[in-house]
Amino acid sequence: MSAQAAQKHVPVMRERCTELLAAACRSFTDNDAATPVIIDATLGMGGHTEAVLEAVPQADVIGIDRDTQALQLAAERLERFGSRFRGVRAVYDEVAEIAAELDDRQVLAGVLFDLGVSSLQLDEAERGFAYSYDAPLDMRMDSSADSEDPTAAELLASISQEELKQILSEYGEERFSGRIASAIVRARDSAPLRTTAQLAAVIDSAVPAAAKRTGGHPAKRSFQAIRIAVNRELEVLKRAVPAAMDAVAPGGAVLALSYHSLEDRIVKRAFAERTTSSAPAGLPVELAEHRPTFRLLVRGAEPPQPAEIAQNPRAASAKLRAAEKISTMARSTS
**146 carries a ligand binding annotation:** no
Alpha carbons 328 and 93: distance in angstroms, whole number? 20
Alpha helices in the chain (DSSP H): 3-8, 14-29, 47-55, 68-77, 95-99, 119-123, 152-158, 161-172, 177-190, 196-206, 220-231, 233-247, 261-275, 306-311
**65 carries a ligand binding annotation:** yes
**114 carries a ligand binding annotation:** yes
**121 carries a ligand binding annotation:** yes
From residue 38, how far is each of 82, 109, 152 by CA, in Å? 15, 6, 33
**Pairing between β-strand 60-65 and β-strand 85-89 as defined by DSSP bridges:** parallel
**92 carries a ligand binding annotation:** yes
DSSP3 helix / strand / coil % (the chain, rounded to 5): 50, 15, 35
The Cβ of residue 62 has, within 10 Å, a number of other Cβ atoms equal to 24
Q: Which residues are annotated as a binding site?
A: 46-48, 65, 92, 114, 121
* Residues in binding site for S-adenosyl-L-methionine: 46-48, 65, 92, 114, 121
